Amino acid sequence: MAEEETFADLREGVRKLCARFPGSYWQALDRDRKYPTEFVTTLAQEGWLSVLIPEAYGGSGLGLAAATAVLEEVHRSGCNGGAAHAQMYTMGTLLRHGSEEQKDRYLPAIARGDLRLQAFGVTEPTSGTDTTRLTTFARRDGDRYVVNGQKIWISRAEHSDLMVLLVRTTARDDCAKSTDGMSVLLVDMREAVGNGLTIRPIRTMLNHATTELFFDDLSVPAENLIGKEGDGFRYILSGMNAERILIASECIGDARFFIDRASAYARERSVFGRPIGQNQGVQFPIARAYIQTTAAAQMVADAAAKFDAGEGAGTEANMAKLLASEASWFAADMCVQTHGGFGFAEEYDIERKFRETRLYQVAPISSNLILSHVATHVLGLPKSF
């Protein structure tokens, strides 16, 4: 198949690793809402999370297209990259905008798997997707910043050594533009928790290690400021494009997981003396899922190629994420329908993936916001308020 012609050796390596973590491994973790520490550690130590880190810092020095192949295969194999994928795109903020001293200090350890940079602190309870209205504030006090505020829907905070944190360093009303006055701090979670940072887990319908964060006079060294004070929104945006493309690739992997499972079951399951896959009512939804997934995968590839070429890929990243998330959700629904009652049984490991892939209709950006972006930025339609 065409998708296997790109990065074939890389894909095969990921499949071999994932074979060591079958559905039973994920089911057990899902029941108890436990973090897949062994899986994440293995991914990191074997170099799969350092694909985008330059060779000078101990990584593979490959592009985003290679990273999409890694995460696609993780999900097609039935695993969940959501426990680790942030290390790929969050690292980019440090790589592109950090000082040489910061990069030398952190990137090699991240590449080796000795440090986890998994947490990405942006969303707040009162601002949601309107990032310009975030209120978590970092006040400069000598050689430190003092942080106060709150974040929500922050995944992996309990399992990360470092966090990229977006804060205001100038009040919104005092800025010429609403996107000014925000800065990025690199927070050492090992020092912060219990010393001004409180983490509260949020139980959700899927095992995604989601939390709420509370900052009460958290002290962060000024040397942990990434880039220039006040330019943080621009730094974060560049990382968000990579995030959307990578998550789109996970959706493609999920969709192919569902298509593989549905096709196999339709060939093997016999009712009324013949395979159910012989019925067009079963065949056609599987075929449609395959067509939708193939088309969405091409959009993901186009977005990754544009990103790797250093071109503005915001629109392509958004479109890739929308198409891929819709393809994966259609495939998920189709797969459950194909399996009938067995699709709801934990034994078949469909219902877990069904819950996991539903997230991407909402996060990291909702489908409606993507449609709004295309309407106003591409088609020139007036903004809605």
CATH number of the domain bearing residue 152: 2.40.110.10
Q: What is the pLDDT of residue 303?
A: 97
Q: What is the pLDDT of residue 305?
A: 97
Last residue of some domain: 47, 82, 112?
Answer: 112
Task: Give a yes or no: residue 244 inside a domain.
Answer: yes
Q: What is the pLDDT of residue 237?
A: 84
Q: What is the pLDDT of residue 129?
A: 77
Task: Give a yes or no: residue 383 inside a domain.
Answer: no
The rounded distance, in Å, linking the Cα atoms of 9 and 70 is: 11
**How would you class 89 by CB atoms within 10 Å of its CB: exposed for 0-12, middle for 13-18, buried for 19 or more?**
buried
Q: Is the peptide bond before 364 cis (omega within 30 degrees of 0)?
A: yes
239 and 370 in a single domain? The answer is: yes
Are 138 and 220 within 8 A, CB to CB? yes
Mean pLDDT of the chain: 95
**Residues contacting residue 366 through CB under 8 Å, at least 6 positions apart:** 129
Please provide residue 36's backbone torsions phi and psi, each rounded to the nearest 5 degrees.
-80, 65
pLDDT in tens, 293-325: 999 999 999 999 999 999 989 999 999 999 999
State the average pLDDT over residues 67-84: 96
Task: Give a yes or no: residue 303 inside a domain.
Answer: yes
pLDDT in tens, 153-200: 999 999 999 999 999 999 999 999 999 999 999 999 999 999 999 999
Domain count, the chain: 3
Task: Choose among 62, 53, 47: nearest CA to 14.
Answer: 47
Q: What is the pLDDT of residue 323?
A: 98
374 and 238 in a single domain? The answer is: yes
Task: Give a yes or no: residue 347 inside a domain.
Answer: yes
pLDDT at 275 over 60: yes
Q: What is the CA radius of gyration of the chain?
A: 21
State the average pLDDT over residues 32-43: 95
pLDDT in tens, 331-368: 999 999 999 999 999 999 999 999 999 999 999 999 99
**Residues contacting residue 54 through CB under 8 Å, at least 6 positions apart:** 61, 95, 107
151 and 52 in a single domain? The answer is: no
Task: Give a yes or no: residue 189 inside a domain.
Answer: yes
Task: Choose among 141, 134, 90, 136: nearest CA to 116.
Answer: 90
Q: What is the pLDDT of residue 90?
A: 87
DSSP summary character for residue 170: S
Last residue of some domain: 199, 230, 261?
Answer: 230
295 and 374 in a single domain? The answer is: yes
Provide the CATH number for the domain around residue 84: 1.10.540.10
CA dihedral 362→365→368→372, nearest 10 degrees, is 180
At CB < 8 A and 24+ separation, what contacts does 128-135 make? 129/365, 129/366, 129/369, 131/166, 131/182, 131/233, 131/236, 132/172, 132/178, 132/179, 132/182, 132/233, 133/172, 133/178, 134/166, 134/167, 134/168, 134/182, 135/168
**How would you class 143 by CB atoms within 10 Å of its CB: exposed for 0-12, middle for 13-18, buried for 19 or more?**
exposed
258 and 339 in a single domain? The answer is: yes
123 and 90 in a single domain? The answer is: no
58 and 132 in a single domain? The answer is: no
pLDDT at 12 over 50: yes
State the average pLDDT over residues 102-108: 97
Task: Give a yes or no: residue 384 inside a domain.
Answer: no
20 and 83 in a single domain? The answer is: yes
DSSP summary character for residue 382: P
358 and 258 in a single domain? The answer is: yes
102 and 144 in a single domain? The answer is: no
| pLDDT band for position 130 (cuts 50, 70, 90) | confident
The rounded distance, in Å, linking the Cα atoms of 193 and 167 is: 18
Q: What is the pLDDT of residue 215?
A: 98
Provide the CATH number for the domain around residue 373: 1.20.140.10
259 and 352 in a single domain? The answer is: yes
Q: What is the pLDDT of residue 1?
A: 42
| pLDDT band for position 385 (cuts 50, 70, 90) | low
Q: Which amino acid is at 364?
A: P
65 and 90 in a single domain? The answer is: yes
Q: Which domain holds residue 174?
A: 118-230
Q: What is the pLDDT of residue 139?
A: 98
The rounded distance, in Å, linking the Cα atoms of 123 and 120 is: 9
Are 300 and 249 within 8 A, CB to CB? yes
* Catalytic residue annotation: 243
Task: Give a yes or no: residue 385 inside a domain.
Answer: no
pLDDT at 214 over 70: yes
Last residue of some domain: 70, 86, 112?
Answer: 112
Report percent pLDDT > 70 for the chain: 98
Task: Give a yes or no: residue 298 inside a domain.
Answer: yes
State the average pLDDT over residues 236-250: 92
pLDDT at 4 over 70: no
Please provide residue 176's backbone torsions phi and psi, each rounded to the nearest 5 degrees.
-65, -40
Characterize the bridge pairing of strands 162-168 and 182-188. Answer: antiparallel
Task: Choose among 256, 270, 267, 265: nearest CA to 342.
Answer: 265
